[in-house]
Amino acid sequence: GDSVTQMEGPVTLSEEAFLTINCTYTATGYPSLFWYVQYPGEGLQLLLKATKADDKGSNKGFEATYRKETTSFHLEKGSVQVSDSAVYFCALSAGAAGNKLTFGGGTRVLVKP
Amino acid sequence: GAVVSQHPSRVICKSGTSVKIECRSLDFQATTMFWYRQFPKQSLMLMATSNEGSKATYEQGVEKDKFLINHASLTLSTLTVTSAHPEDSSFYICSATDRKRNNYGYTFGSGTRLTVV
């Protein structure tokens, strides 16, 4: 079945440091890929997405590129802020739009001033 | 943008009682609603998928008689935890999408923290 694997946290960084969170997936066909962010006690917010190979999703300084050859969708940000402290989830949706999302285990990121 | 309003945000109930959680799509039609459960510091576990006007499809291991899902309209879906027990305590999150838009947009509610005492 479909699965998403992302690096375990917590990841602790200093402000303005570079952030990378690795995400790899297994799926039949060509899934759509997503990064969601969850702040404490809240639901999930879409951070970015890519629906086909080589697409780059970007938002709020975060980027991720859909790499079919390595089945990866790593999240990066060049300079993190304290407000980026949250849990980040990589996810995929296989098949038609509106199919269920399969989530990775989540990566907790803590940015210290 | 698309908004899903989820209520209540927190609820404490006694063992044996039932609790209803509502998710409303405010500015779009939720043709499909996903219900998730999240344990502390863990990922989201899909419980069931419901399409408007149809019976929900439950994931393996999820008791459909315990977790009743209703999706009678394009803007409202409810999850009722029946005869709740302490092990049902968890964070429940809904996610809605409009399949007709075909844009891979999933909007999440803000979650419900259920504590069964």
Per DSSP, B96 falls in state E
User: What distance in Å separates the CA atoms of residue A49 and residue A76, rounded to the nearest whole number?
Assistant: 13
Q: What is the mean pLDDT of chain A?
A: 93
A89: three-class secondary structure by DSSP? strand
Question: Any CB–CB contact under 8 A between B64 and chain A?
Answer: no
Closest partner CB to A93 (pick from B31, B49, B104): B104
Q: Which amino acid is at B10?
A: R
Question: Any CB–CB contact under 8 A between B106 and chain A?
Answer: yes
Smallest Cα distance from B48 to chain A, Å: 10
DSSP string of A9-63?
S-EEEETT--EEE-EEEE-SS--EEEEEEE-TT--EEEEEEE-STT-EEEETTEE
Subunit contact A44:B31, Cβ cutoff 8 A: no
Subunit contact B6:A93, Cβ cutoff 8 A: no
CB pairs under 8 A between A and B: 59
Q: What pLDDT shows up at residue A1?
A: 84
pLDDT digits (tens, 9 = 90+) for A75-88: 999 999 999 999 99
CB atoms within 10 A of CB B46: 17
Name the pLDDT band for A41 (thresholds 50, 70, 90): confident
Q: Is the pLDDT of residue A15 over 70?
A: yes
Closest residue of B to A42, CA-based?
A: B110
Q: Is the pLDDT of residue B101 over 80?
A: no
Closest residue of B to A102, CA-based?
A: B46
User: What distance in Å separates the CA atoms of residue B8 and residue A77, rounded to the nearest whole number?
Assistant: 34
